[in-house]
Structure 1
Amino acid sequence: MRFRPANEDSQRAWRTAAEPLPDPVGRQRPPSSDASSGVAPTVDGRSDQDQADSVDDEHLTRTITALEPRLREFILVLAVGGDVELWRPDGDIEVDDGILGEAQAAGLVTEDGTLIESVRNTILTTVAGHRVRAIQRKIVDALVVDGRLLSDRARSLARGGLVDLRIARVLEREGDRLLLVAPDHAAELYEEAIGAGADSRALAARRAQVAWAAGDLDTAGRIVDDHLADDSAPDRGRAIDVGAAVWASRGMLGRSSELYRWHGTEMAATSAAFAAVAMIGAGDRNGAAAMLASAGSSSPTVVSVAASLMAQGVRDSLEGSGVQALPTLIRASDMMTASGAVVPVPESPAALAALVAIQGGDVAVAGSVLEEALERAQGGAAARTRLLLLRGWVAMLEDRVADARAAVAEADAGDGRLTARDELLSRALAVGIARRTDAVAELTGAWRRAHDSILHVAIDLFDLLPVGELVVASARLGESDKVRYQLDEAWNLLERLGSPLLWCVPLHWASVQAAILAGEPRSLAPDAAALVRAGEHSRPAAMMSTAGRAWLDVLAGRVDAAAVDDAARGLATVGLGWDGARLAGHAAARAADRKEMSRLLACARELRRAGLDPSATDTPASDPAQLHGDGSVGRPELSSREREVAQLVLQGKNYREIGETMFISPRTVEHHMERIRHRLAATSRSEMLAQLRVVLGDEDGVL
């Protein structure tokens, strides 16, 4: 027997899944005795349907056995992975359409040449295994001769149980082709390659990579551990990259750094770049420099260019104000997105660019980078959750609370449990949302969950956003001691990196906020002084320093409306619009002059609206559109019911007392107050009460 490769039409036919067709060779099923309840059992315990299937199987077996040998051999070739173009008995007889027509007439083959599945199963059970394997190998021989061993045919043969290294190599090569762009498909190909005889040790690192890409950190970690325990195991560089990415996702970037150090400095440039990112993130600046200096060369692929830019950008973020890092990291993100590759990295380039942008006060830029990365699926499923949460963080900073909540909900609704690192970010984001909406009960619950999460990670450079938020929230709740260790770890890490301004300044600001909330303004002196010094080189630091001084003056009872207005607007220019609105609102509540109070309330409301509505214009607070002739604020529309509730609140009544007066439940009173707070765009209760005094014309209300 000789075979020849299939033509393109037959290959397409074989890639089409078999559809249910009438039973072959005239098989008929007896009708059920009870269509509504299923098939009734018979005396021997088998249903009528089971007996019918048994009779049909026996009938089909007899029918196939009785086929003319030439036709039966043709059916066998189809069953083991061939098609009509591969069938040529004894080499003397030319292929003709007659044999296919006979098979179709017998009800064994569909019109497009596909063998009926029940026929396939039956003939494979009636033919000896060695005969099946022999025909499969002849098919492989025929394909190899013409150089047309296609991956889809290889998969069919491998699934049929054929063990042949030629098939295994084809499957392995196809898996390698798909590894970076379709890791889920690559995983299937590697498993089939191993079944066809490929060396499982040679494929271990690649199998770990596809497990990581699927979010299965436990499987990826186990494969890497076993692989690295074998000194002679191949592809160790890939295993190191995967292992480092797994440790990073688990919130232990220091372990990623140690893994690279253990491997040594002799590695490809791409891996060395990833190692540098991990080492800097863990506080080892010198180790990162040494790794990059001794790295080998890599082919100039898009991925290797992205990796190089990532390392350069992270290093740049440690120098001066760090602003020069952002364009480099944005280019890294662009290149990684363009590659379409799902690469094991300690942190995705889009996340790095967004973090640097947020730290530097360029919140809108961070949002743009994240939108692009998410739209084009940078990093695949492995990176999506973290990018979603960072986009939610941007939404929170821009006062788009609904969008921030949606990001948390979408991340939490994913296929699997969040990684330790992403869980911390998610829960810290929930804390930030609750703090900014002044929802005390929600804040308390979110804080407890976030505190639990932070205990599961070792703080690194890329965790400073959640650390800063939890420092402020813990002070608000009087539990600063519960994050003192993590805050100390953050400062120790930053000191090892040379106290880079880009990363230090936001943490100083968080500490200033925490001191104010804790009622300990004297304790903020070191952080305030650090902001003053940093302000000479960093615009965000200069804005924060000015705002810090204004806040201290307000706390001391000295309200300079112009200074507060400038400070609040300055904060908004570096991505801290909510903080600016809060400063203005607190100052308004303490202003003795009605006109100054009105100006500050207008400032607070404008900054909140700028966040709620990005198209809002920057109308100055002194504009007539914002103030009436007497300096009072343009009044928002409150319903009659809301005005009644507000008046009772200003009289000092609590929710229970208001409910008894108005014959409604305290819960309903709370809902009215929440709507009022939203209408006024107030960031705190004191700011809301101050605004209500103006809106209702009641200067004698009680705070």
Structure 2
Amino acid sequence: MIPGYPLPSELVLDDPTRRLCAAIVSGGLAPVRLAVIAPGGYGKTALLDLLATAEGAKRWRRGADGAPLLLVDDAHLLGEQDFTELAAHAADSATGLVVAARPRPRPDGLTALLGRLRGQIVLRPFDRDRVAECLRAITGAAPSPAVIDLVAAQTGGVPGLVHRLAPHVGSGTVPRAAVEEFRFELDRLSPDALRVLVAAEVGMGEVDLLAGLLARSPAEVADILDEVRGTGLLDLTGELLPLGAKVLRELVPADQRDAVFGGLADLRLARGGPLGDAALALLGAGAGGPSVAAVFEAAAAQAAPGVAVRLYAAAAEAGHPVDAVRHAEAEAMSGDIDSALRRADAVVSATGNPDAARIAAAALAHRGQLARSAELYQWSGSALAAIGLAGTGRVDDARTALKQADSGERPTLLAGAITALAQGILSSLDESWPTALSTVARAAEMLEPVGGTALLPDSPAAVAAIMASHSGAAALAEPLLDRAIAAETGGKVLVNRHQLLRAWIAMTRGDGPAAAAVVAGRTDLTPRDAQFALGMELGIARRGSDLGALRRSWDRACATLVRTPVDLFTLLPLGEFAVAAARLGDRDRLVPQLDQAWDLLRRLGNPPLWSAMLHWSCLHAEIIAERPDAAEAHAAALADTAAASPFHTTMAHAAQSWRLVLAGTVDAEHVESAARGLHAAGLGWDAARLAGQAAIRTADRKAMVGLLDCARVLQGPGAAAPVVEDSSGAARLSERELQVAGLVLDGLTYKQVGDRLFISGKTVEHHMARMRSRLGATSRSDLLAQLRALLGNRA
């Protein structure tokens, strides 16, 4: 408030304007020559009311005598005679003059008059603080933050709108009574101005569109736009304010709005070009009718999948014929696999459309039904059939399908990528398998420019990541996955898959937290991808010694396995399931799936690239289940593939180390070499676990310390500590706990242990308390006895 002068309740000024007005009202600034230019609703009249309290101030009227301070309102509406008279007053240096006008229209006489003024008072929209101040002044009470936010959002801070809305928003909503206040303003508008205002609701305020809508010239449209701006329902950029949209929706009859929207839709269709923004604006406004529906359908064909689904649905709801195949494809690309499958299947049943069959085939692949997917692709003549056929063990059929499809395919990037992907998968099954991964990687790079619009059962980047995880080449897969995610290859459904496979690599490397962050709370996964997510949940829980989490995920994992047959591309999660089943003592539930997996690999000729990791997982499952003969069989199978590649040599070496360690023979140099090989192959957690297990089984104090140090280094910073189990699997100690236990058994005090390990004695005490809890020891002597049994008698 200006000292000594009460402000009108709707007038809230910034500090510079307050000071200027105070100087004018108090007579400290004279004569003044100022312009007040602002749209309707910004408080020009209220400001002149304030200045009219100055001594000698007078509202100007044509033909009236002069005064020390003349206040001219609505100058944009004056005629030439008015401007001639005002020019004479402006020529009198003793007369003050404040002229208020809207930005448009701008008559020549007003332009000349404004040119003789010395400054301008700028009235801006209220910021949040000024909205709050205005609400407080009008209602006499401090508004809540929710009310302030509502009013600011609805009005855009336009002072006049804030003033009109303020008495109605105590409940935090915009009630009907507040909307009704604008009925008189709408009734005063010309029919064309009302149409322009409705057009602004959907952001179609271009002069050429409005000229076509109104059958007016551009100059006439400009005059109508000036009338519309005078309502105060537009912001400074010409966009309709939210409150304005609400007023139009509730006060303008639906048939009038639909007539405007239909006319605009016809004009936009005739103009051509991108229709996405127009369609979404019409959709948001609740527009309907045949012309609007035609815009929805045309825009859907141009839109990203998620938006396209909404637009196709809106067009269909409006009664417009929609291309069901495109609709199904958009649903599949956006991740709504079930809806896409239903729609595509209906089209196949009714018309036998091969494009619909390919959509259904892709949906079935994402649902984990790879065999049925391959049959549909085969029926439709697609080279993608080769991928599913190979993945389900039908290699000869896959080669035939690829050969037949290639003969009729156009040489596009997509066709080339699909062919290279199929060739890479087939190569991975025979003697040319060392080149398979590079072939699939090339397919991924070939697909990148066009992959964002391709509906696929799987992507080359995903297959490359799976192959890399089977063969210790994760470093090659990560950039392929990153680029596929950035390019949104295959739409949302494959972006999810790429993210999961990226997390899988992190988990096997030992970075459980990174993997868990990707998996946590995911509810948008297809059944096939849910296998990987659940495999990661089990793997993270097992690596983190979280038996409770392992149990919680296990039933869901089994339910997923029952619904999805085993294929070549789901062997990785199956391996994690096998280890979890052994850890939980529930191996029988997994027997059918493991039998399917081994049968599939036998039919494929036990390809080294695909079989090694399953043997490795099952080796650990048998170790946990204390079945040495079965573990020996998997170790032997790994030894048989040792000559296949350096990775297979590493796996065979590590399996042999495990055999020796379990037999009580710990060759520290051999173990460390095997562990470092696993780490280099991307199996960081497995590497640390092998070194840690060997450490607790050796009686050589020096070897134990060296292996524990090796485990710590291979584990890496921030990774979950490898679990250390005794032969029964009952006791699990971390690497650091083992170090502490060994030194305590050597007779060192807690302080001495802390000095040796560069930790405090209190931390050592904490470690001992945790070990006592984990081992279930009833006393300190019981704890020491169990540690001696675990580490060897060191007393």
Give the TM-score normalised by the residue count of structure 1: 0.72
* Corresponding residue for residue 128 of structure 2: none
1:209-246 Cα distance to aligned partner (Å, 9 max, x none): 222222222222221222122026xxx33322322222
* Corresponding residue for residue 273 of structure 1: 383
Unaligned runs of 5+ in 1: 1-17, 40-46, 266-271, 614-632, 662-668, 674-684
Query: 1:138: Cα distance to partner?
Result: 9.9
- 1:183 is the counterpart of 2:300: no
* Corresponding residue for residue 44 of structure 1: none
Query: 1:173: Cα distance to partner?
Result: 4.6
Q: Could you tell me which amino acid in structure 2 is paired with residue 260 of structure 1?
A: Y
* Corresponding residue for residue 104 of structure 1: 228
1:499-543 Cα distance to aligned partner (Å, 9 max, x none): 221111111222222222222222234433322222222333322
In the superposition, relative to structure 1, how do residues 470 and 155 fare at CA in structure 2: closer, same or farther (>3 Å)?
A: closer
Could you tell me how far apart the structure 2 residues matched to 1:645 and 1:192 are? 63
Q: Could you tell me which amino acid in structure 2 is paired with residue 214 of structure 1?
A: S
Query: 1:466: Cα distance to partner?
Result: 0.9
Q: Could you tell me which amino acid in structure 2 is paired with residue 495 of structure 1?
A: R
- 1:161 is the counterpart of 2:288: yes
Q: Could you tell me which amino acid in structure 2 is paired with residue 213 of structure 1?
A: M
Could you tell me how far apart the structure 2 residues matched to 1:305 and 1:112 are? 49
* Corresponding residue for residue 794 of structure 2: 699
* Corresponding residue for residue 250 of structure 1: 367
Tell me which of 266, 269, 284 is aligned to 2:394.
Answer: 284
Could you tell me how far apart the structure 2 residues matched to 1:27 and 1:431 are? 56
- 1:605 is the counterpart of 2:712: yes
Could you tell me how far apart the structure 2 residues matched to 1:641 and 1:464 are? 46
- 1:440 is the counterpart of 2:440: no
In the superposition, relative to structure 1, how do residues 687 and 408 fare at CA in structure 2: closer, same or farther (>3 Å)?
A: farther
Q: Could you tell me which amino acid in structure 1 is paired with residue 338 of structure 2?
A: D
* Corresponding residue for residue 587 of structure 1: 694
Query: 1:88: Cα distance to partner?
Result: 7.0
In the superposition, relative to structure 1, how do residues 537 and 78 fare at CA in structure 2: closer, same or farther (>3 Å)?
A: closer
Tell me which of 500, 510, 519 is aligned to 2:607.
Answer: 500
Q: Give secondary structure in 1 for the equivalent of 2:335.
A: coil
In the superposition, relative to structure 1, how do residues 113 and 273 fare at CA in structure 2: closer, same or farther (>3 Å)?
A: same
- 1:540 is the counterpart of 2:647: yes
1:275-302 Cα distance to aligned partner (Å, 9 max, x none): 2222222222222222211115444444
Could you tell me how far apart the structure 2 residues matched to 1:586 and 1:601 are? 9
* Residues 192 and 214 in structure 2, CA contact (< 8 A), matched pair in contact too: no
Tell me which of 336, 343, 349 is aligned to 2:447.
Answer: 336
Tell me which of 573, 580, 584 is aligned to 1:466.
Answer: 573
Tell me the percent identity.
34
Could you tell me how far apart the structure 1 residues matched to 2:678 and 2:608 are? 17
Could you tell me how far apart the structure 1 residues matched to 2:166 and 2:706 are? 85
Give the TM-score normalised by the residue count of structure 2: 0.64
Could you tell me how far apart the structure 1 residues matched to 2:282 and 2:431 are? 61
Q: Give secondary structure in 2 for the equivalent of 1:575.
A: coil
- Report 1:467-482 matches (<5 A): 467-482=574-589
Q: Could you tell me which amino acid in structure 2 is paired with residue 524 of structure 1?
A: A
Could you tell me how far apart the structure 2 residues matched to 1:138 and 1:601 are? 74
In the superposition, relative to structure 1, how do residues 521 and 50 fare at CA in structure 2: closer, same or farther (>3 Å)?
A: closer
Once the two structures are overlaid, the 10-residue window that deviates more, 459-468 or 83-92, is 83-92
Query: 1:147: Cα distance to partner?
Result: 6.9
* Corresponding residue for residue 353 of structure 1: 464
Query: 1:137: Cα distance to partner?
Result: 6.1
1:174-229 Cα distance to aligned partner (Å, 9 max, x none): 43333xxx2123234434554676533xx111111222222222222221222122
- Report 1:192-591 matches (<5 A): 192-194=314-316, 198-200=320-322, 203-231=323-351, 236-261=353-378, 263-265=379-381, 272-295=382-405, 297-320=408-431, 322-339=433-450, 341-409=452-520, 412=521, 414=522, 416-591=523-698
* Corresponding residue for residue 666 of structure 1: none
* Residues 386 and 422 in structure 2, CA contact (< 8 A), matched pair in contact too: yes
Could you tell me how far apart the structure 1 residues matched to 2:487 and 2:501 are? 16
Could you tell me how far apart the structure 1 residues matched to 2:171 and 2:213 are? 50
In the superposition, relative to structure 1, how do residues 299 and 641 fare at CA in structure 2: closer, same or farther (>3 Å)?
A: same
Query: 1:149: Cα distance to partner?
Result: 9.5
Q: Could you tell me which amino acid in structure 1 is paired with residue 355 of structure 2?
A: R
* Residues 564 and 583 in structure 1, CA contact (< 8 A), matched pair in contact too: yes
* Residues 276 and 311 in structure 1, CA contact (< 8 A), matched pair in contact too: yes
* Residues 535 and 576 in structure 2, CA contact (< 8 A), matched pair in contact too: yes
- Report 1:93-132 matches (<5 A): 95-96=219-220, 99-100=223-224, 103-104=227-228, 107=231, 110=234, 117=245, 118=247, 124-125=253-254, 132=259
* Corresponding residue for residue 97 of structure 2: none
Query: 1:582: Cα distance to partner?
Result: 2.8
1:377-399 Cα distance to aligned partner (Å, 9 max, x none): 43342223322222222122211
Could you tell me how far apart the structure 2 residues matched to 1:37 and 1:72 are? 30
* Corresponding residue for residue 35 of structure 2: none
Query: 1:464: Cα distance to partner?
Result: 0.6
Unaligned runs of 5+ in 2: 1-152, 721-752
1:17-46 Cα distance to aligned partner (Å, 9 max, x none): x985899x99996984x874689xxxxxxx
1:484-511 Cα distance to aligned partner (Å, 9 max, x none): 1110011122223232211111112222
In the superposition, relative to structure 1, how do residues 226 and 526 fare at CA in structure 2: closer, same or farther (>3 Å)?
A: same
Query: 1:355: Cα distance to partner?
Result: 0.6
Q: Which has the higher contact order (CA 8 A, sep 6+)?
A: 1
Query: 1:564: Cα distance to partner?
Result: 2.8
* Corresponding residue for residue 9 of structure 1: none
In the superposition, relative to structure 1, how do residues 610 and 300 fare at CA in structure 2: closer, same or farther (>3 Å)?
A: farther
Could you tell me how far apart the structure 2 residues matched to 1:128 and 1:560 are? 84
Could you tell me how far apart the structure 1 residues matched to 2:467 and 2:307 are? 34
Could you tell me how far apart the structure 2 residues matched to 1:104 and 1:338 are? 46
* Residues 544 and 571 in structure 1, CA contact (< 8 A), matched pair in contact too: yes
In the superposition, relative to structure 1, how do residues 238 and 584 fare at CA in structure 2: closer, same or farther (>3 Å)?
A: same
Q: Give secondary structure in 2 for the equivalent of 1:378.
A: coil
Could you tell me how far apart the structure 2 residues matched to 1:106 and 1:93 are? 20
In the superposition, relative to structure 1, how do residues 162 and 206 fare at CA in structure 2: closer, same or farther (>3 Å)?
A: same
**Larger-gyration structure (1/2):** 2
Q: Give secondary structure in 2 for the equivalent of 1:177.
A: coil
Aligned residue pairs: how many? 599
Tell me which of 764, 772, 782 is aligned to 1:643.
Answer: 764
In the superposition, relative to structure 1, how do residues 332 and 641 fare at CA in structure 2: closer, same or farther (>3 Å)?
A: same
Query: 1:94: Cα distance to partner?
Result: 8.1
In the superposition, relative to structure 1, how do residues 542 and 123 fare at CA in structure 2: closer, same or farther (>3 Å)?
A: closer
In the superposition, relative to structure 1, how do residues 398 and 687 fare at CA in structure 2: closer, same or farther (>3 Å)?
A: farther
1:101-144 Cα distance to aligned partner (Å, 9 max, x none): 66337639858777864458756557598xx48x9569847974
Could you tell me how far apart the structure 1 residues matched to 2:672 and 2:604 are? 36
